[in-house]
Chains A and B, each alone.
Chain A
Amino acid sequence: MTLTSPAPDAPTTAGGHLLEVDNLSVEFRTEYGVVHAVNQVNWHLDKGETLAILGESGSGKSVSAQAIMGIIDTPPGYITEGQIRYNGRDMLTMSDEEQRKLRGPDIAIVFQDALSALNPVFTVGAQIAEMFKVHRGMSKKDGMVRAAELMDRVRIPNAKGRVKDYPHQFSGGMRQRVMMAMALSLDPSVLIADEPTTALDVTVQAQIMDLLMELQQETGMGVVLITHDLGVVGEVADRIAVMYAGRIVETGTVYDVFGDPAHPYTVGLMNSVPRVDQRGQRLSPITGSPPNLANIPSGCPFHPRCPRAQAICSQERPPLRPVVVGRHSACHFSEEVLGV
């Protein structure tokens, strides 16, 4: 963004979205070649809504979130093009100091593996209190008081008695709550949840997802939910962006996309998952396996696995284009897939 933005605190600008990822590309230059993890990806998030980014491992779904949080290691990772706009201001052109002021207080993240994301040699209270110390200049003592309040807010039983416990003394579900307490400590307006429940058992997953949705209703924050689990998406998401081989292949509301997918990959994904409310029928999986991002197929990256592939698909990459109102799909034959 070359324009100087108005006052830094101005809430919204032209686009009007809270968080906008615009034409973002990220590559990793490794000794085995350049891995194109994210290619010209666009998505946006509004206040109070939940956007699900759905994809398999290696689809690049986490990388755009990592770019937002500034945790891509350079080298090998490079953001080669695009913008990440928060309240209309491009974060990638901000000074490091300005970026740091946003990450944590305004945009927070919860990772999949809470045990490795928490520091094992500090108490959980100290780690939550550090947020207040660094960003609010609070004393450690006051910070610990706030930490106990937050742990109570994420419904950790006996929070006051547990602030001085270490991460290994908590169960997996409780550790994930500690992570959420830390993320929510400074009232962020955007929460990125990167596979927050993948490592958890199903009953604990239900507890954590319920908590996340309750907190969202309390605070009105926007949530970016990165996951491979169609069930979780079906339960909580408002809108969805399906990723394949580093690109978004379909977007729309979760009702539209799940009710009537417009991209053959989404169709294949839905047909390959057994459902708890059905039994018996044979699954119709997608053939082959996801491509290596260092060697993405020509044309449409999905064409080698696609049952509808034609000659054009291996030559020309279909852009992500509007299909019907509010829906985008990157397939030459989206209309036929959708049957409109």
Chain B
Amino acid sequence: MSELVHDGISPATSTDEPLLRVEGLAKHFPITLGVVRQKLVGHVKAVDGVSFTLDRGETVGLVGESGCGKSTVTKVLLALNKPTAGQVYFEGRDVFAMGKRELRELRRKIQIIFQDPYTSLNPRMTVGDIVGEPWEIHPEVLPRSGRQQAVRELLDRVGLNPDFVNRYPHQFSGGQRQRIGIARALALRPEVIVCDEPVSALDVSVQAQVINLLEDLQKEFGLAYLFIAHDLSVVRHISDRVNVMYLGRIIETGTNAQVYEQPSHPYTQALLSAVPQHDPAVRGQKKRIVLQGDLPSPADPPSGCHFRTRCWKAQDICAVEYPPLVDRGQGHPSACHFAEIENVVAVGADDGTSTYAKADPTPGSGSQRIGTES
């Protein structure tokens, strides 16, 4: 693998402690039966041993389908839920060993932008109150006298008219509400913003505005983003590094180019091949991996490799042994005994010009269907 394309971003190799380090994080939710005397009948292993790092100023994507545990990761990360196992270090300090005061400080430095701009803003508060509320909780950040001015500046920064401070959320469109949420997240000058599906509730033409805004803010304030989404195209656009999750575990991790252009885990390949591609000219030319069946229940995951029940490469060993997330010679870690690079995304023009019809399709990668479909 000598021709790895790195996008100019190399994986964190320095000895410096990353801003955020997650190690072996697990969160199991108990399943109980009965009302008065509750009997424990099992666990939903929502997150089951997840490790990753986040450096200053970078964007790390966390992708996976619904139910893979990506949102649970963020809740545990902020110590909103107690983990079953594992550690999270923020600036080298163990988050779960923090006292009340330290946790407050942590939650100032890590802010969240939520998916649904309709339910994450209090309908009875004005925009000015919403954006200024963080300072009520963390008064040390900004003296009371400067707050009114600061709210106006924040609104202006996220592209809203500062004269709208006295309006209520219902007077804004979805995209504008998401901007209010971003302004609120910026108020405490955080170092990390967890973006939990920040654009999936927005219309396509508005999505791009918010993505551009997030990119601008990152440059301006040196923010690090943990970007959680199910839309693989959006994650590809914004992320420096990407983690792919399946049933509570990270199954492949690498730089943007490694994961998208050289995916080596069968699930990543299936996921990428399922993303519809806009260019009708590559229709029928790209390989489509159609997965059989549905996601198994996280309460009762398959033995060994969680993906083996839907995998076309599965052998006996897959049922016995969980493949560790390591580099097996493909250049980046992948949790598959039989990891093998295969590009499944038909590549169109990569030079910025939209040349759908003119894109030169790669010959020889004819429509092929693999999988266990009958």
The residues of A with any CB-CB pair to B shorter than 8 Å are 56-57, 157, 171, 173-174, 201-207, 209-210, 228-235, 237, 254-255, 258-260, 268-287, 289-290
Chain A residue with Cβ nearest B369: A210
Please report the C-alpha to C-alpha distance between residue A205 and residue B173 in the assembled complex, in whole angstroms: 28
How many residues on chain B are close to A (CB under 8 Å)?
57
Q: Does B176 contact A (CB under 8 A)?
A: yes
Give the distance to chain B from A225, nearest Cβ to Cβ, in Å: 12
- In B24-69, which residues have CB < 8 Å from any A CB? 65-66
Query: Do residues B208 and A289 form an inter-chain contact, with CB atoms below 8 A?
Result: no
Give the distance to chain A from B50, nearest Cβ to Cβ, in Å: 20
| Residues of chain B contacted by A277 (CB below 8 angstroms) | 277, 279, 345-348, 350
Please provide the 7 A-B residue pairs with the shortest distance between their CB atoms, ordered closest to farther: A259-B357, A231-B276, A285-B208, A272-B208, A274-B237, A206-B274, A201-B65
Chain A residue with Cβ nearest B174: A289
Q: A275-B233, A276-B345, A279-B237 are in contact. Are A173 and B294 (CB under 8 A)?
A: yes
Please report the C-alpha to C-alpha distance between residue A279 and residue B295 in the assembled complex, in whole angstroms: 29
Give the distance to chain B from A258, nearest Cβ to Cβ, in Å: 5
Give the A-B contact count at a CB cut-off of 8 A. 162
Q: Does B290 contact A (CB under 8 A)?
A: yes
Give the distance to chain B from A62, nearest Cβ to Cβ, in Å: 14
Complex A-B: 14 CB contacts under 8 Å: A201-B65, A201-B230, A202-B275, A210-B288, A259-B281, A260-B357, A271-B354, A273-B207, A274-B236, A275-B233, A275-B277, A278-B348, A283-B208, A285-B208
Give the distance to chain B from A281, nearest Cβ to Cβ, in Å: 5
Query: Do residues A274 and B211 form an inter-chain contact, with CB atoms below 8 A?
Result: yes
**The stretch of B108-116, B134-142, B198-206 that contacts the partner chain:** B198-206
Give the distance to chain A from B288, nearest Cβ to Cβ, in Å: 7
| Residues of chain B contacted by A230 (CB below 8 angstroms) | 204, 278
| Residues of chain A contacted by B345 (CB below 8 angstroms) | 276-277
Q: A202-B271, A274-B233 are in contact. Are A228 and B212 (CB under 8 A)?
A: no
Chain B residue with Cβ nearest A234: B278
Please report the C-alpha to C-alpha distance between residue A300 and residue B283 in the assembled complex, in whole angstroms: 34
Chain B residue with Cβ nearest A272: B208
Give the distance to chain B from A113, nearest Cβ to Cβ, in Å: 15
Query: Do residues B354 and A290 form an inter-chain contact, with CB atoms below 8 A?
Result: no
Query: Do residues B280 and A203 form an inter-chain contact, with CB atoms below 8 A?
Result: no
Query: Do residues B173 and A276 form an inter-chain contact, with CB atoms below 8 A?
Result: no
| Residues of chain A contacted by B280 (CB below 8 angstroms) | 234-235, 237, 254-255, 258-259
Query: Do residues A259 and B358 form an inter-chain contact, with CB atoms below 8 A?
Result: yes
Chain B residue with Cβ nearest A282: B212
Please report the C-alpha to C-alpha distance between residue A228 and residue B207 in the assembled complex, in whole angstroms: 12
| Residues of chain A contacted by B314 (CB below 8 angstroms) | none
| Residues of chain A contacted by B215 (CB below 8 angstroms) | 282
Give the distance to chain A from B231, nearest Cβ to Cβ, in Å: 8
Q: A228-B204, A274-B234, A277-B347 are in contact. Are A203 and B277 (CB under 8 A)?
A: no
| Residues of chain B contacted by A282 (CB below 8 angstroms) | 212, 215
Q: A230-B204, A268-B205 are in contact. Are A276 and B294 (CB under 8 A)?
A: no
In the complex, besides A231-B233, A273-B278, A286-B205, 17 extra interface pairs with C-beta distance below 8 angstroms are A173-B294, A202-B274, A206-B273, A206-B274, A209-B276, A230-B278, A234-B276, A255-B281, A255-B357, A258-B357, A259-B357, A260-B357, A270-B354, A275-B236, A276-B275, A289-B173, A289-B176
Please report the C-alpha to C-alpha distance between residue A229 and residue B357 in the assembled complex, in whole angstroms: 18
| Residues of chain A contacted by B205 (CB below 8 angstroms) | 56, 268-269, 272, 285-286, 289-290
| Residues of chain B contacted by A210 (CB below 8 angstroms) | 288, 290
Q: Does B256 contact A (CB under 8 A)?
A: yes
Query: Do residues A276 and B236 form an inter-chain contact, with CB atoms below 8 A?
Result: yes
| Residues of chain A contacted by B65 (CB below 8 angstroms) | 201-204
| Residues of chain B contacted by A269 (CB below 8 angstroms) | 204-205
| Residues of chain A contacted by B260 (CB below 8 angstroms) | 276, 279
Query: Do residues A276 and B272 form an inter-chain contact, with CB atoms below 8 A?
Result: yes
Please report the C-alpha to C-alpha distance between residue A259 and residue B233 in the assembled complex, in whole angstroms: 20
Query: Do residues A272 and B204 form an inter-chain contact, with CB atoms below 8 A?
Result: yes
Task: Indicate which residue in A57, A209, A278, A279 contacts B203 across the interface (CB closer than 8 Å).
Answer: A57
Query: Do residues A279 and B256 form an inter-chain contact, with CB atoms below 8 A?
Result: yes
| Residues of chain B contacted by A290 (CB below 8 angstroms) | 203, 205
Chain A residue with Cβ nearest B293: A157
| Residues of chain B contacted by A56 (CB below 8 angstroms) | 203-205
Task: Indicate which residue in B206, B234, B290, B350 contacts A289 across the interface (CB closer than 8 Å).
Answer: B206
Chain A residue with Cβ nearest B347: A277
Give the distance to chain A from B196, nearest Cβ to Cβ, in Å: 17
Please report the C-alpha to C-alpha distance between residue A232 and residue B233 in the assembled complex, in whole angstroms: 13
Please report the C-alpha to C-alpha distance between residue A285 and residue B357 in the assembled complex, in whole angstroms: 21
Task: Indicate which residue in B256, B257, B294, B346 contacts A204 across the interface (CB closer than 8 Å).
Answer: B294
| Residues of chain A contacted by B276 (CB below 8 angstroms) | 205-206, 209, 229, 231-232, 234-235
Please report the C-alpha to C-alpha distance between residue A56 and residue B201 in the assembled complex, in whole angstroms: 12
Task: Indicate which residue in A233, A273, A289 contacts B233 across the interface (CB closer than 8 Å).
Answer: A273
Chain B residue with Cβ nearest A199: B66
Please report the C-alpha to C-alpha distance between residue A279 and residue B211 in the assembled complex, in whole angstroms: 13
Please report the C-alpha to C-alpha distance between residue A286 and residue B206 in the assembled complex, in whole angstroms: 7
Please report the C-alpha to C-alpha distance between residue A144 and residue B352 in the assembled complex, in whole angstroms: 55
Q: Does B209 contact A (CB under 8 A)?
A: yes
| Residues of chain A contacted by B66 (CB below 8 angstroms) | 201
Query: Do residues B352 and A234 form an inter-chain contact, with CB atoms below 8 A?
Result: no
